[in-house]
Structure 1
Amino acid sequence: DGEEEARLSAQGVLLGWPGSYGLVCDIGGASMELAEIAGGHVGRRVTSPLGPLKLRSVPGGKKGRKAHIKAVLEDLAATMGPQKNRLFLVGGSWRAIARIDMERRGYPLHVLHEYRMSAKSISATIDYIEASDPVELRNRCGVSAARMDLVPLACEVLKAVVKTFQPRDIAVSSYGIREGMLYEQMPQSLRDRDPLIESCYFAEAKDARIPGFGKQLYEFILPLFKSAPLERKRLIQAACLLHDVSWRAHPDYRAEVCFDNATRANLGGLKHSERVFLGLALLHRYSNKREGTRFEPMFKLLDEAAIHQAEVLGKAMRFGAMLWLQKNAPMGAMRWFPKKKLLELHLTEAASPLFGEVAQARFQSLAASLGAQTDVRIKG
């Protein structure tokens, strides 16, 4: 049942993007489904014979296929109505096109989930595919021969879909029917949870030396980010939950492992720029330096302000991690006065013995990144 496939595929998208809205377009070998999503629910949905395998049998060559695709999409658009929000692409042929788009652009982060494209970029990539040797291109992009055979036909469909619906932006989803079946079994209370934060809680419980400390660390460093928007505080919370999950890695490579885990892990609810922010913060959890790493090309996905904030976050975690006493024991508090450029540290008497030479150096490194003077107070 094509409409049922459309519903399940759309639910898969909702699993990765709770509360998202737009048009889900799932392409298979023999069909293409559309479903609208809004407010956590799946709305209208349709199925069509626009799969690449089916298009092979359309008479009239490329001209005949173009007319056929246009006619089918006109019928689909009449049923679905205006759909000018985000277009979510689900399916192997779409992912292959996205992978080639990355290659054409020299895009540094090879994660397909949440990869964004524009109509202009898709048009340029279709031209790039037509001008390239298919064998050489698939080898360079890691696309199978069977999939590459379908890409030119999928390009014809995608070009027409974008022209018909004119979405404001286009995102690739690695979540589809399988994830939609999982979503089907979830109560609403579980569906409403943040997939990123839930994944981080799970990782902390499974891999951290001190499960539960991430919450305490988050509360300790949050005063540094009082004016940050909720979207950024969400990433700060995620970083704190993940700050210790890579402790088993060799110390010489721990910073790199942290960055890799954050940027390439199967995490939902993360834009690519947010992946890099999270990875950079965790890199600075273990290293003061980021220059000279193999990750530098990815930093261009962030602006300078975000790079600086990730550095401050990482150094704050690096310092705060040294002040753990025991579960729920008060560490003390930090107070940040940005106008005065003053960073205060209020330590409990129990935590003061932990503020040794290394901890002091880490605190001063944090202050240096903030351009701040420091004031350390120990409560008696």
Structure 2
Amino acid sequence: MRSRVWSGTAAVVLGSLLAVGCGDWEKDAPSAGAGSSADAAPGTYPVSVTDCAGVRTTFSAAPKKIVTSNAAALELLLRLGVGDKVIGTGFPPGEHTLPGALDAQARQVKVLSRTVIPKEKLLGSGADLYIDTFASMGGMGGSGMGDAPTAPEFEAAGIHHIYLKSTACAAQSRTPVTDLSAVEADIASLGAVTGTTARAKELVAGMEAKVAAVRQAVGDTAESERPTYFFFDYDAGTKQPTVVCNRQIANAVITLAGARNVFADCAGDYKQVGWEDVIARNPDWIQLGVRDRGSEAANKTAFDEAEQWLKSNAATKGLTAVREGHLLRVGSEPTTIAGVRNADTVEEIAKALHPGKVG
């Protein structure tokens, strides 16, 4: 195994959290609000994290200047209370798409790109840490989108490069993802790296409590009685649907909400299928998986478009979910990308599908 060590000679290795989850954490801690890094504990260093192939990055101190590849990692850092350390982001969150004070904090972060951060801009950003939500781990070079810097280029620029493994490593998972332990491990890992472990524990405890309440409410529903569910990734294209398979976080969200992903038999994260495959599985519910457009009005327009497409297309208008109006307007990001709001999405879906059980 290669080891990418930036400083320090010993490490508390957090990569194994992805496998074992966070089951030994405190369950009764309150959910954390937004805050500044001044509120954070100093942390224990050195700390090491690994990527999908086990390559290790070691930190001897908390990073001071962080760049995030997109809104998912940015939101986690804001929730951990280290938003003042973030000097830039790609794929910024739309206005008012983050709750409460997080939205105002996100507006203060410099936008390095509306999409993928250009390679030279990233390397010249002055960051000492870059957090990648998506990654093409086969070549170990970096982001799965655009012309990404190589590992040697990151090192030459003095930038640690780590990943949200629950998303970046999804396709390589050996077993179906049916819970949020990988997401919780990402939060734990970022908490350790940034010296905010206590706050990370609070965030995870809040997620676990919310999911536990849903599971208790729908736990006695027989598998055969749980509604079938299709995540319609409208933005991935309508000519040939891209579906979420059983290694994707969305599969866990759907399962925990008391539903059955109609493509849970697909081993991987995403797969392109034909509409005849969707028709054959005839889902009871369809989620209009629209990606954040930057404003509530723009998001509503996109949801309207996705719904109208399903209702007007000859191949889909006869589906049970379409005929019965079982079309959920829940965004893509909190369903498919790691974050505290994964638990909120579990609750939101469960309330729609099991109104008599989940209040």
Q: TM-score, normalised by structure 2?
A: 0.30
Q: Answer 1 or 2: which has greater helix percent.
A: 1
Q: TM-score, normalised by structure 1?
A: 0.29
Determine which structure has more spread, i.e. the larger CA radius of gyration: 1
**Higher relative contact order (CA closer than 8 Å, sequence separation 6+):** 2
